[in-house]
Amino acid sequence: MNTLSRVRPPFYRHLGKLLVALFVLSPLSAREPVEGQHAMVASAQRLASEAGVSVMRAGGNAIDGAVATGFALAVTLPSSGNLGGGGFMIIRTAEGKAVALDFREVAPLGAHRDMYLDENGAPATLRSRQGHLANGVPGTVAGLEHAWKHYGSGKVSWHDIIEPARRIADDGFVMSPFLVQHLYSHRERLAANESSRGKFLRNGDFFTAGEVFRQPDLAATLSRLQAHGAADFYTGKTADLIVQDQVTGGGLITHEDLAVYRPKEREVLRGTYRGYEFLTMPPPSSGGIALTQILGMLESYDLRALRLQSTAYIHLVSEAMRRAFHDRALHLGDPDYYEVPRAQLTDPDYIRQLMHDFEPSQATSSELLVSTIKPPAESMETTHFSTADSAGNVVSCTYTLNGNYGNSVTVAGAGFLMNNEMDDFTAKVGVKNMYGLLQSEANAVHPGKRPLSSMTPTILLKDGQPVLATGASGGPTIITTVLHILLNVIDHKLSLALAADAPRFHHQWQPDRISHEPFLTSPDTLDRLRDMGHEFALRRLYSHESNRMARYFGDAESIMFEPETGLLLGVSDTRYPDAAPAGF
């Protein structure tokens, strides 16, 4: 389409600019955060946030609150809250100690590199996404127990940490319209498993909004965890139920797989940006390195002068995203199995030279960033929560089942879904795929290995004191969502609520396009960017092609420390209707 064919009437031409200006400047667009003097939780479900706060009211710290929230989300957010998944947690204690806790799932000992290829050697996609072969060994229960044992206050018992979640599972909770619609939109996947079909779909007698959802099997599992700790999940009755279900469904997880699972503490990835220090996740998350690279590439530019969502701003930031995601595809994997060049990738001189071929007036073709590797697909369905207390303890945690409702398998008799994290591994190595590109050996399937992830839990510090805890759901857009939150707060001086609400855009090198939310900027700005060589894909809330609920970019759950008042400010993302912070 030529430029003349895109000429618009003056009103329409300036409408987008007006909408952006109203968003940034109008007090009507601002939401008030939830304020707390002592404690704050921001999560994707109100009852889960309140569960974390209740534990902190009883004397617990932010780590205790995070563990309680994690268990409660396993009850109230079945699409991604979990016992049968895994994740990452950044902890920053009041004493200043920083910890990166990796409780990511691992490939079963019986897994092998070519297990997701069919008899013709082609990727068998469904096998790694649905059913018993799709799940890795879960890490959530072990990870949450590790956090509580090593960094909790010591004032709240393990039994009492889990009790809010057990009570919600036993008594039930009122189902929101969003949850009912979400379950219905994924009915085909859930119907494939007998236990899931009975629990979440009532065998075709679908739930309606306002009904009470009770989960007796899950309540019983949580009671066993209260009595016996994580040992029940990995060597006790719950372990027996998992293995029995795996045998019945043809899965690979054995008693040995569960018994040998351990979470890992890793060295926190630290970076700086405009006088702030940020703490984020190292590999096997790709998020921390990608975030460090993008911020490093942008630091020499005056982003505030470019103006939020202007042509120059979107062009510059998307070009930095493009280059970081190119490195992500080339170099990142589980550091226990692949030598990730972490020091080189985060070296300031290396990061600066990544922009050596940046053209202010022309998009870089992703094909010119030479690589034979196609980045693996990654599910959008994770969930994030942040907790903080007035003493200065802060937690940023992202955990997941990977896809919506994981592999769609509910463990019979145990009441929880298993993950489909094996889909995050490279399905086929060394052979060109349908796009003529090779997949990376760094992320190939191997027994005991953790798959690559984009989860990016992050804590921001100023002068050694916590300023912000944030993170998000959304697959690869997690990285850019956290980036947008940081840029909006630091460069554009937006309130935390406005920083979360601002429309987002994302570039991940391949496919070579900018995906964006509605009302990102004016139509003329998009036209100018197209003339510079950019292509665009609009993200909508509902996919008519698949007749399913889609997602805007993932919901960010954030807490800010207000130094002037000492208050904790909690903001949940409006993109997720059931999300809500809680504090006191």
Which active-site residues does the annotation give? Answer: 382
Strand partners, 583: 40
Give the 3-state secondary structure of residue 297: helix
Cβ atoms within 10 Å of 204's Cβ, excluding its own: 8
- Which burial class, exposed, middle or buried, applies to 549 when counting CB atoms under 10 A from its CB (0-12, 13-18, 19+)? middle
- State the Cα–Cα distance between residues 337 and 267, nearest whole angstrom: 17
Quick check: 53 and 559 in contact, CB under 8 A? no
Q: Which helix (H) or strand (E) holds 264?
A: strand 264-266
Q: Which helix (H) or strand (E) holds 313?
A: helix 311-331
Strand order in the sheet with 505-506: 505-506, 514-516, 536-538
DSSP string for residues in 90-113: EEE-TTS-EEEEEE--B--TT--T
Q: Name the one residue in this structure whose structure tokens are 């939310």.
A: 517
- The single-letter code of the amino acid at 90 is I
Strand order in the sheet with 264-266: 264-266, 98-103, 86-92, 394-402, 381-389, 39-43, 580-583
Quick check: 253 and 242 in contact, CB under 8 A? yes
Give the 3-state secondary structure of residue 305: helix
7: left (phi over 0), alpha (psi -120 to 50) or beta: beta
